[in-house]
Amino acid sequence: MKPSKTLTLIAAAFVLACSAYAQSVDEIVNKHIAAMGGRDKLKNMETMYTEGIMEMRGMEIPIKLWVVNDKAVRMEFEVMGSNNIQVVTRNGGWMQMPFQSPEPKEMDSGMVRAMQPRLDLAGELYDYKSRGRTVTLEGKETTAGVEAYKLKVINENGSVTHLFVDANTYYIDKIESRVSAQGQEMDIATMLSDYKKTDNGYVYPALTTQEPIGSKISVTKVEVNKPVDESLFKMPGK
């Protein structure tokens, strides 16, 4: 066979392999979206309010979370009688942590990037291409007897996340990410479980644990598409 024909066949095989690979990624993504309530449900999500309890270092900390889709997220948690606030938007973030300082201050850019994926109520995989993200399949891994697809997600801000999609349920079982704040970096593994469904059909994980932080969050209340006062996301004056 002539070298030119050989190269042509190799090139064709490469294109076919890439096409099949991309198709398998989209198949996984589509099954995940269906498992989470379906494309129409996720598309119509505008706001979410969540309450829960975070257990960490022997403490039980009440937390609240408000999200306006693709715009802003606010998290509040009580520590030693003080209410602490973290807010992130597409353009930045701020925080008010009385146990550190009574004054609100701008959030570290690394923390902003780490929290920005929370802005997408439909999840990082929903319409990922139009949102400027890249998703690739890195194979399968088995953890605690559960087989999962390992997806690498490169977000529009350049941050990288690994999502582990259960091969049976197509729920996300684990998220691996790197957080950078104040010159320090930490690899965090977030495990998601005990999936439940809201009255309007949206599916969410009711139990979240994080390592090496050693925290566990149990969700006690979820409200979808209820009005949210957007003044919650404005940084108060000093």
CATH of the domain at 224: 2.50.20.10
9 found inside a domain: no
pLDDT at 15: 40
pLDDT at 1: 55
Tens of pLDDT along 66-95? 999 999 999 999 887 888 999 999 899 999
Residue type, 228: V
Count of structural domains, the chain: 1
Pairing of strands 82-89, 72-79: antiparallel
| DSSP label of 234 | S
95 found inside a domain: yes
33 found inside a domain: no
113 found inside a domain: yes
pLDDT at 38: 93
Tokens of 55: 């257990």
- Concatenating the DSSP letter of every residue in 142-189 gives EETTEEEEEEEEE-TTS-EEEEEEETTT--EEEEEEEEEETTEEEEEE
pLDDT at 9: 45
82 found inside a domain: yes
Tens of pLDDT along 176-204? 988 765 667 888 899 999 999 988 888 99
Distance between CA 63 and CA 82 in Å, rounded?
Answer: 12
Task: Please state, as a whole number, how many other Cβ atoms lie within 10 Å of the Cβ of residue 3.
Answer: 7
Task: Please state, as a whole number, how many other Cβ atoms lie within 10 Å of the Cβ of residue 179.
Answer: 17
pLDDT at 10: 42
Residue type, 183: G
Domain enclosing residue 184, as ranges = 43-233
Q: Is the pTM of this model over 0.75?
A: yes
| H or E segment and range at residue 33 | helix 3-35
pLDDT at 182: 62
pLDDT at 135: 94
Tokens of 33: 């979206």
Taking 50 as the pLDDT cut, the residues of the chain under it are 4-5, 7, 9-23
25 found inside a domain: no
pLDDT at 238: 55
72 found inside a domain: yes
pLDDT at 2: 53
Measured in whole angstroms, how far is the alpha carbon of residue 64 from the centre of its chain?
17
15 found inside a domain: no
Cα separations in angstroms, 37 against 133, 139, 204: 22, 25, 9
| DSSP helix, strand, coil percent of the chain (3-state; round to 5) | 20, 45, 30
pLDDT at 66: 96
